[in-house]
Structure 1
Amino acid sequence: MYPKLQDLVDSLATKLSRPATLEDRRQRLVVYSRHSELPDAVRHASILQRCVSAEVLTWLRRFELAKARQPVRIPRNVSLGMLSRVCIPIRHHDLLLGYLWLIDADESMSSEQIALAEFAAQDFALALYREVLAGELASDRETEAIRNLLLCGSEVQASAARTLIDGGHFDPSLSVVVLVAKPVLTPDAEPDDQVRLALERALANTRQRLPARHAAHLVSYSDGILLFGTEREVDELAVNRCVSHLDHALQTALSGLEQVSSSVIGVGQPRSGLAQASGSHLEAGQAARIAAFMPDVSRIARWSQLGIYRVIGQLFSQGLGEFVLHPGLERLFTDPEALPLLQTLETYLDLSGNALATSERLKLHRTSLYSRIQRFERLTGANLKDGNERLCLHLGLKLARFTGRYRPAG
């Protein structure tokens, strides 16, 4: 696939009498030299999986390779099964393009050998730069087509679907299901380049496990989007397998990022063709958001199984984010001391008004439970014996949780 780069890495490995690999700036394997045997577990995994594990990435971050302008010696790490190495950043006019890796198990590489590798890195930089330009042009066309497919009107969607099909990215005979992967960030954290690179890595790794022309993907500001093609419009087995691959890749890629606490995946309903993917995307995005805000929803949230939460998602999509279904809740949302009352009420309503089950769930004496419920009724003017009133309160609590107005402790 990269004949020029392959020739360069083989030539350098021969001159230095040691195996070499070339990775792109996201630390995905591009090419590797001949190996008489694989020297360590990390190199073995890199060649087989074409990427490095989350544990290895975490170890390498401490050496700040993305900022390096000179060769960096990486010491041996026994726990990772990793021999010592020399890493040479590949740059073109100071633009980081990738990394050249040379195993140096006994740390015997001389300054002359490292200088030779640095000199060769100039040829790697030019060749890799050309490959990056070509790849990014193709990637930009795919990205623009996916954005148009998911976010624009029907006429533009049809044209975007044709672009993806004609470009060899997607088989026109397939039905499509959209998956949205969403990192759940710690309080006050914002998605950054590390998070987006992790999403890109997870989506790319998932696509590698799927048949050719069965998937396309896009990384947005804070989410990863995967369009997955199935032979039949309803193929639960294939979808479940794809979800499992994505979930594993997502957790691996996000592992070690301090600003990420967990991750969720939303799964939309299948559509008969690529041009109809936007509906599945809307469902998957809302399902992922619900899973991120609602602890009683599975981390893998399928739109078809969300029940009342589908109503909440649709309410939110209609611009009702500040809407509360019961006026008595308004005052309590602004009072921090009312939080125990709200949590008690939500649990009570979740359990269909079963006082015994609520007491056990909250580890609360039933007398204290009844006291809290009565106090809630006094403060809000609510009547929990009225079914419509209970429905308004329950839906109002879920909607407030979904929009961030109500955040239960723990």
Structure 2
Amino acid sequence: MEIQQLVDELAERLQHSVAVDDPHGHLIASSKHFGDEDAPRVNVVLSRDLDPRVAKYLFSFGIRSATEKVVIPGKDDLGLKARCCYPLRHRRQLLGFIWLIGDHGTDEVIRPYAERIAETLGQQYAASHANADRLAELGRQLLSRTDAGRHAADGLRAEGFAADGSAVYLIAVAQPAGRSRPPSFPELLSTGPVQEWVHTGRSAIEVDLDAAAVLICAPGDGPETGFDRLLPRLADRLAQGDVRVGISAPGSLGDVQELLRQALLSAGAGHLFTDLGAVNQWDEMFTERLLLEMALAPSVDTTPPRHMAALFDASNETLLNTAETYLDHGGDRSATADALYIHRSTLYYRLSQIQKLTGLSLADGHGRLSLHLAIKLHRIAGSDIGRLVQTDEDHG
């Protein structure tokens, strides 16, 4: 019997509303209301997601490790009525919760339904993970440059992934060289935005590369795909860390090697360019995209011209950083001094030294553009961003 049918049947017997969530608080099924609902329950039904403050309060009662019913007191400042929670476990694995507002003392009625719902969730979990494993293997083949990779797109379409020819996106997570491996998407977002994608295993496939974790996403068409919700929530989640996420332009499964390159470079750009955020889309970047393509093109010489060479000597790193900060702030001396935590007179002295070393007037637009380009290309050439693309080329 389907979970929704079981939830509706239990609600009718109890004459109280019933909801079933997954282990992260995302709504799986909800009965009709019987007048006992509160604001958080209504919000969950509308958004299919728990308010983070409510989730934190509910999870603080140890419901994720519980094996028996847990009664949770109400909390007025959250608009939360007292409720009880029945963990749903199949072969000891937590697959969700049954929620009832109030404590009705009807365990003998509820427990058989809890067991049947847990059994159904267990069957769905096993089926979805078997399917996810098949898709993951095809995804690994797709991102490789082997013969198998060239046939993987057809295999994915046969499995129903982007079968209608809809656009796919690649999302890559990367960290600077020398750091620990980037977290996988489940580790990074186990309670958050990526759940819109991975709950079925069909709308996103995760592939781990040497230097990045990658999601192949097929959002489809329409406003309910979750893609518009995923990106800002990713940015918010990553804002305080050193992980960066890059997102390719839309393309087809046949274009996946180029999409992978775009996603990896977009992630790497977040480490290189301080004005970018934690999440960057290839087709939303312009200057950075041009600089990356220029710096990584094998036929392009990014060596600074001779008259600028002294500025790029290791002994002049402070002056180089000052020039870059000044140019990044559009020549605003006050903002530059603040950003560098130096007095304006110190900045004026450094700027005069930069002009002497380079022979450029920082009041001249062409000179400023030349110097800015030289600095950015130097930063890219000296970075490890090429490692990400090389990982792509060598994968498989």
Does the TM-score normalized on the shorter chain lie above 0.5?
A: yes
How much does 1:41 deviate? 2.3
Please tell me the residue identity of whatever aligns with 2:350.
R
- The answer to whether residue 248 in structure 2 is matched with residue 268 in structure 1 is yes
- 1:122 aligns with 115
Q: 1:170 to 1:274 in 2, by over 3 A?
A: same
Q: How does 1:86-101 map to 2 (within 5 A)?
A: 86-101=84-99
How large is the Cα RMSD of the aligned pairs?
Answer: 4.4
Please tell me the residue identity of whatever aligns with 1:307.
T
How much does 1:102 deviate? 1.3
- 2:104 aligns with 109
- The answer to whether residue 287 in structure 2 is matched with residue 307 in structure 1 is yes
Q: How does 1:331-410 map to 2 (within 5 A)?
A: 331=314, 341-350=319-328, 354=331, 357-363=332-338, 367-373=345-351, 383=358, 385=360, 391-397=373-379
- The answer to whether residue 131 in structure 2 is matched with residue 144 in structure 1 is no
How much does 1:133 deviate? 0.8
- 1:216 aligns with 203
1:173-203 CA deviation, whole Å, 9 max, x = no partner?
A: 43x3525275999x999747552324xx524
Taking the aligned partners of 1:220 and 1:52, their CA distance within structure 2 comes to 28
Residues 347 and 358, structure 1, Cα contact 8 Å, conserved in 2: no
- 1:31 aligns with 29
Gaps of 5+ in 1: 209-214, 232-237, 404-410
- 2:389 aligns with none
- 2:56 aligns with 58
Q: 1:67 to 1:332 in 2, by over 3 A?
A: farther
- The answer to whether residue 229 in structure 2 is matched with residue 245 in structure 1 is yes
**Secondary structure at the residue paired with 2:104?**
coil
Please tell me the residue identity of whatever aligns with 1:225.
L
How much does 1:152 deviate? 1.1
TM-score after normalising by structure 1: 0.69
Taking the aligned partners of 2:16 and 2:275, their CA distance within structure 1 comes to 54
- 1:408 aligns with none
Gaps of 5+ in 2: 362-366, 386-396
Q: 1:80 to 1:5 in 2, by over 3 A?
A: same
Taking the aligned partners of 1:115 and 1:161, their CA distance within structure 2 comes to 51
Residues 162 and 168, structure 2, Cα contact 8 Å, conserved in 1: no
How much does 1:282 deviate? 2.0
**Secondary structure at the residue paired with 2:33?**
coil
How much does 1:288 deviate? 2.9
**Count of aligned pairs between the two proteins:** 358
Q: 1:124 to 1:303 in 2, by over 3 A?
A: closer
How much does 1:226 deviate? 5.1
Q: 1:286 to 1:143 in 2, by over 3 A?
A: same
Taking the aligned partners of 1:60 and 1:168, their CA distance within structure 2 comes to 37
Taking the aligned partners of 1:332 and 1:226, their CA distance within structure 2 comes to 44
Residues 324 and 396, structure 1, Cα contact 8 Å, conserved in 2: yes
**Secondary structure at the residue paired with 1:67?**
coil
1:359-404 CA deviation, whole Å, 9 max, x = no partner?
A: 45425666422422466799xxx5363977775444334555776x
1:102-136 CA deviation, whole Å, 9 max, x = no partner?
A: 111xxx433xx246534543333222211211122
**Secondary structure at the residue paired with 1:290?**
helix
Which range is displaced more, 135-144 or 289-298?
289-298
**Secondary structure at the residue paired with 1:121?**
helix
Residues 174 and 213, structure 2, Cα contact 8 Å, conserved in 1: yes
Taking the aligned partners of 2:5 and 2:190, their CA distance within structure 1 comes to 28
- The answer to whether residue 38 in structure 2 is matched with residue 40 in structure 1 is yes
Taking the aligned partners of 2:242 and 2:52, their CA distance within structure 1 comes to 14
- 1:21 aligns with 19
1:226-285 CA deviation, whole Å, 9 max, x = no partner?
A: 534678xxxxxx89x976433245367x4xx9x9559865342343x3221231232023
Taking the aligned partners of 1:377 and 1:219, their CA distance within structure 2 comes to 50
- 2:154 aligns with 162
- Pick aligned residue for 1:81 from 61, 70, 79: 79
How much does 1:39 deviate? 0.9
